[in-house]
Amino acid sequence: MKSNKGSSMKEKIGVLLISHGSRLPESTKTINELANMYREYTDFKVEIAYMELRKPSIPTALDNLVKNTEIDTVIAVPVFLSHGMHTTRDIPKILGIASDDTNEDLHNHHDNHKHSDEHNHGHNHHHDFKKVNFDGKIIYTEPLGADPLLVEIIKNRVDNALND
């Protein structure tokens, strides 16, 4: 790797943490704390984005991530426990990396969204989907998933409950 600062990897990579978003202001606390904890582990620039209900949106957060930087690669991490319609359909469309990526789909989303059992979690999805404006590479990761580290958290919650 070249030693000049301008071409170092850390200057060229940004991390976008994508959370669902909630109407409750307290909901941002956890993702903010996670982002700050992660920042202690990494030299990469890190920004938080919300799928819906809170700002910044994914396009705005990505703009903030890359502006006035040399970032040409964004690693987008859906901070969701598992895959769902947002992580498999909506977020890839917004990031412009959906396999069936068409503007028609974006515009039809609102009308077709029936809040069926596939996606009914207590809020309306009146998305005004706007795609990101970014020429670089976007690497979209898996959600948190069934990771042994999460089992540790469950174990701690149960153990702590019994110790109270």
- Cβ-Cβ contacts under 8 Å for 19 (sequence gap 6 or more): 31, 48, 49, 50, 51, 79, 80
- Show the tokens assigned to 111: 């009308």
**DSSP class of residue 90?**
I
- Return d(Cα 163, Cα 137) in angstroms, integer: 48
* Residue 114, amino acid: K
- Return d(Cα 142, Cα 119) in angstroms, integer: 19
Q: Checking phi first, is residue 110 left (phi over 0); if not, alpha (psi -120 to 50) or beta?
A: alpha
115 part of the active site? no
Q: Which of 20, 115, 123, 127 is catalytic?
A: 20
Beta bridge partners of 137: 73
Active site members: 20
